[in-house]
Amino acid sequence: MKRETKGKNVGTYETLNDVLVNLFRDISGIEQKAVRELGYLDITMNDLHVIEAIGAGEPKSMSSVARALSVTVGTLTIAVNSLVKKGYVIRQRSSEDRRVVLISLSARGKDVFKHHDSFHQSMIDSIVKELTPEELEALTRALTKLNSWFRGF
């Protein structure tokens, strides 16, 4: 007989927990391995997230990147200091408002961004080709709901 937890089937709970924990760990590990194979041995997963949030476009303010990452500007400053020392990020003052610090990717940072973006594209392409249109639609709906829940956490 299956137990119930808060009205939910325990087997389903355990399966979802295992899938979510393993997915997070596996994707992080695969991303880290892919970046290291390109020769970027000094990049952490946190560094990758910051690089991704900065993007390859125009410089962004520290506050906008911190908001995108759901961290404080102080926390982002520590990460950016490290990325500046490693040569991946450029920090400059806004010419319009000297109080505003803008950050952008260096050529080296843009290269990591490009390879990381390519990794994500390849990962999604691999998933999509394994699913029927109905499965893809259901997965997209479920992950969108899951993402909304995590964003509200």
Q: Could you report the per-residue pLDDT of 44-60, keeping only the tens digit for each?
A: 989 999 999 999 999 99
Q: pTM of the predicted model, to two decimals?
A: 0.80
Distance, in Å, from the CA atom of 139 to the CA atom of 153, rounded to the nearest integer, reads: 21
Question: Pseudo-torsion of CA 52, 41, 72, 110, nearest 10°?
Answer: -30
Predicted pLDDT of residue 1: 41
Predicted pLDDT of residue 8: 62
Across 101-107, average pLDDT: 97
* 57-94 pLDDT per residue, tens: 999 999 999 999 999 999 999 999 999 999 999 999 99
Cα of 56 vs its chain's centroid, Å = 15
Residue 8 pairs in a beta bridge with 5
Query: Does pLDDT of 2 surpass 60?
Result: no
> Torsions phi, psi of 126, nearest 5?
-65, -40
Which 3 state secondary structure label does DSSP give 53?
helix
Query: Does pLDDT of 9 surpass 80?
Result: no
